[in-house]
């Protein structure tokens, strides 16, 4: 290849590079504008929806779940206190048995208490009264 063809090739490569630099500069401006639009949209629409959902979630947990769990815990505590008083006031057994009705009853009451707490939490969380987050309006 001669010097003329090298010079022409270099000239075309330089022109191509300059063209690509202009395209990239324009693309940078477009990305900047798009970023600003996304930020504005997020501030105007997305963030309020997230805050509303968080507030609704907090209200459900504070007003429904925690009282249900506290009530179930209180009820199970009273049952266990009653059983404890009965066990303490009962005369000592002559010989411990391997397993009996009392043990079966205590295990059954414990399982029932756990099931009641789980059912209460399930019923509270499964209520479709109000959706926490509405669909986005365009």
What pLDDT does residue 97 have? Answer: 60
Distant-in-sequence, close-in-space partners of 65: CB < 8 Å, separation ≥ 6:
121, 124, 125
What pLDDT does residue 138 have? Answer: 47
Our CA dihedral for 89, 117, 68, 84, rounded to 10 degrees, sits at 10
Mean pLDDT per 10-residue section of the chain, whose length is 138 residues: 79 89 88 87 85 84 82 80 71 64 81 83 66 53
Report the sign of the C-alpha dihedral through residues 105, 107, 113, 116, in that order.
negative
Distant-in-sequence, close-in-space partners of 49: CB < 8 Å, separation ≥ 6:
133, 134, 136
Query: Phi/psi at 90 (nearest 5 deg)?
Result: -75, 150
From CA 21, how far away is CA 33, in angstroms rounded? 19
Query: Phi/psi at 127 (nearest 5 deg)?
Result: -70, 120
């Amino acid at each position: 290849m001669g010097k003329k063809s090298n010079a022409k090739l270099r000239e075309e490569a330089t022109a191509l590079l300059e063209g690509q630099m202009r395209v990239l500069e324009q693309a940078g401006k477009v990305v900047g504008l798009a970023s600003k639009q996304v930020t504005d949209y997020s501030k105007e629409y997305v963030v309020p929806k997230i805050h509303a959902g968080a507030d609704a979630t907090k209200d459900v947990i504070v007003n429904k779940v925690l009282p249900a769990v506290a009530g179930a815990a209180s009820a199970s505590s009273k049952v266990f206190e009653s059983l404890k008083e009965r066990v303490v006031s009962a005369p000592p057994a002559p010989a411990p048995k391997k397993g009996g009705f009392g043990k079966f009853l205590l295990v059954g009451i414990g399982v029932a208490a756990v099931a009641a707490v789980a059912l209460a939490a399930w019923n509270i969380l499964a209520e479709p009264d109000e959706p926490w987050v509405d669909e986005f309006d365009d």
